[in-house]
C-alpha cells in the first residue's frame, strides 16, 4: 500500500513553561511522515522548504525511507515559520506568529507516480491547497485530513468545500467546536460528518481521543505520561500513526480504526516527551508495541454485575 503526505515543513519557535527553542524542525507533514514511517515505507512527502531548512534533516527523512522527490526546495526563500506558546495547561496554546514564507505561493505539484497512492494524509495547510492535491489524485481509497483554527478562521468556506472530499477529519476539541459552531463534542462531530467525512476523530490532548465512525463512537484514553515536554506535533504524530497503520493493514473496518487510534495515540505520546521531532526520531518496533499493549492494560477491567 502507498501513502502520500502533504503539509507544512517548518522551522518553529516553541515556548513552554519549561524551555524555549528557536528554529526547531516542525511542520505538519514532517511529524506525519516520520510517524507514518514506523508503519509503512516509503512514505511519499510533498511540501516546500526554503534554503534555510537544514540539509541534515532532509537526509534524516530520507534515512527513514521518506521519499522527498515531491519536496520543493526554494533555495532563495525562507521556510514556513510558526511561533507557538504553551502555558502550564499544556492542552492550550497561543499562536504568536505564523509566517507562511515559501508556503505563500506554494503550488503543490504531485509527482505522477505519487498520484496513484491509495492512502492520502493532508496535513494542516491552506484548505485550498488540500483541494488542489486531492484533485490530482487518481483514485485514493482513504483521504485523511487535519486542520487548525488559523484556517477555520481565515479560510472557512474553502475548508467546508474540501471537507466534501475528505473521509476522515482529525481535529482537536476546540477546533471541532469552532468549525461546527456546536459546544457539545458529540453534536460537533455529527455536524462535521454532515460536511463530508464519515469518520471524525476529535483529539482531546491529555484527555484522549474520540472516534466517531458513522454512527459508532469509541473513546481512547491518552497514555498517562509523567513528563510532557513539548506538545507540538502531537496531533500530527497521531494523524501519521493512525494513517500509517491503516495504510499498512489496508483495512478500514471500525475495529481496525480503533486500533489505528491507539497506534496514533502511542506515537503522539512519544512525540510530547521531547522537543520538536526528537521524541519520534528513532523509535523501535518493540517500544511502540510495548506502549500500545500498555494502552490496553490501562483501560482494561473485569466487569462484575452488581448483586441485587
Ligand atoms: P500540532 O501540534 O500537531 O497541531 O502541529 C504543530 C505543527 O503545525 C508545528 O510544527 C507548526 O509548524 C505547524 N503549523 C502551525 N500553524 C500552521 C498553519 N497555519 N499551517 C500549517 N502548519 C502549521
Note the pLDDT tens digit of each residue in 61-88. Answer: 999 999 999 999 999 999 999 999 998 7
Model confidence at 90, pLDDT cuts 50, 70, 90, reads confident
Q: What is the pLDDT of residue 235?
A: 95
Q: pTM (2 decimals)? A: 0.96
How is residue 275 annotated by DSSP?
S
Question: What does the block give as the cell for 184?
Answer: 457539545
Cis, peptide link before residue 304, omega less than 30° from 0 = no
* Confidence check: pLDDT of 157 > 80: yes
- Taking the C-alpha atoms of residue 62 and residue 68, their distance in angstroms, rounded to an integer, is 7
**Is the CB of residue 239 less than 8 Å from the CB of residue 253?**
no
Identify the band that residue 281 occupies on the pLDDT scale cut at 50, 70 and 90: very high
Residue nearest to atom 4 of ligand 1 (CA): 235
Give burial (CB, 10 Å; 0-12/13-18/19+) of 22: exposed
Residue 90 near residue 84 (C-beta atoms within 8 A): no
pLDDT at 18: 82
Nine cell digits for residue 204: 482531546
| CA separation for the pair 176, 142 (Å, rounded) | 21
Better-scored residue on pLDDT, 53 or 92: 53
Whether residue 67 has its Cβ less than 6 Å from ligand 1:
no
Span from the CA of 305 to the centroid of ligand 1 (angstroms): 46
d(CA 33, CA 244) in angstroms, rounded, equals: 9
Going by pLDDT thresholds of 50, 70 and 90, the confidence category of residue 3 is very high
The packing angle between helices 234-249 and 28-36, to 10°, is 40
Instruction: Say if ligand 1 is within 6 A of residue 26 CB.
Output: yes
Other residues' Cβ atoms within 10 Å of the Cβ of residue 229 = 19
pLDDT of 17 higher than 90:
no
Cβ atoms within 10 Å, residue 214: 9
Residues 79-108 have a mean pLDDT of 91
Which residue puts its alpha carbon closest to atom 13 of ligand 1? 27
* Nearest one of 119, 111, 71, 100 to 239, comparing CA atoms: 119
What confidence score (pLDDT) does residue 304 get?
Answer: 93
- What cell does 71 get? 519536496
- Cell, residue 200: 471524525
Residue with CA closest to ligand 1 atom 14: 27
Task: State whether the beta carbon of 276 lies less than 6 angstroms from ligand 1.
Answer: no
Tell me how far apart the alpha carbons of residues 283 and 106 are, in angstroms, rounded to a whole number: 32
| Cα 109 to ligand 1 centre (Å) | 21
Ligand 1 atom nearest 235 alpha carbon: 3
* DSSP H/E element including 287: helix 285-299
Calculate ∠ Cα 71-20-54, nearest 5°. Answer: 25
Amino acid at each position: 500500500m502507498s501513502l502520500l503526505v502533504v503539509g507544512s515543513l517548518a522551522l518553529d519557535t516553541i515556548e513552554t513553561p519549561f524551555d524555549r527553542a528557536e528554529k526547531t524542525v516542525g511542520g505538519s507533514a514532517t511529524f506525519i511522515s516520520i510517524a507514518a514511517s514506523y508503519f509503512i515505507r516509503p512514505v511519499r512527502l510533498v511540501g516546500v522548504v526554503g534554503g534555510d531548512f537544514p540539509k541534515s534533516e532532509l537526509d534524516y527523512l530520507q534515512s527513514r525511507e521518506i521519499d522527498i522527490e515531491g519536496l520543493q526546495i526554494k533555495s532563495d526563500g525562507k521556510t514556513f515559520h510558526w511561533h507557538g506558546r504553551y502555558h502550564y495547561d499544556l492542552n492550550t496554546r497561543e499562536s504568536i506568529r505564523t509566517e507562511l514564507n515559501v508556503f505563500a505561493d506554494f503550488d503543490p505539484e504531485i509527482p505522477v507516480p505519487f498520484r496513484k497512492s491509495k492512502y492520502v494524509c493532508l496535513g494542516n495547510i491552506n484548505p485550498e491547497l488540500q483541494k488542489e492535491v486531492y484533485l490530482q489524485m487518481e483514485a485514493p481509497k482513504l483521504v485523511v485530513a487535519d486542520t487548525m483554527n488559523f484556517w477555520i478562521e481565515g479560510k472557512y468556506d474553502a475548508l467546508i468545500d474540501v471537507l466534501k472530499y475528505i473521509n476522515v477529519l482529525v481535529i482537536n476539541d476546540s477546533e471541532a467546536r469552532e468549525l461546527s459552531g456546536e459546544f457539545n463534542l458529540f453534536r460537533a462531530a455529527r455536524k462535521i460528518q454532515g460536511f463530508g467525512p464519515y469518520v471524525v476523530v476529535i483529539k482531546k490532548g491529555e484527555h484522549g481521543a474520540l472516534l466517531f465512525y458513522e454512527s459508532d463512537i469509541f473513546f481512547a484514553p491518552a497514555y498517562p505520561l509523567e513528563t510532557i515536554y513539548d506538545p507540538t506535533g502531537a496531533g500530527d504524530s497521531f494523524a501519521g500513526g493512525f494513517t500509517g497503520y491503516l495504510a499498512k493493514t489496508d483495512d478500514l473496518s471500525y475495529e481496525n480504526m480503533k486500533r489505528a487510534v491507539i497506534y496514533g495515540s502511542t506515537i503522539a505520546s512519544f512525540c510530547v516527551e521531547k522537543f520538536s521531532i526528537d521524541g519520534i526520531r528513532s523509535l523501535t518496533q518493540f517500544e511502540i508495541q510495548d506502549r500500545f499493549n500498555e494502552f490496553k492494560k490501562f483501560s482494561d477491567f473485569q466487569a462484575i454485575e452488581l448483586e441485587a
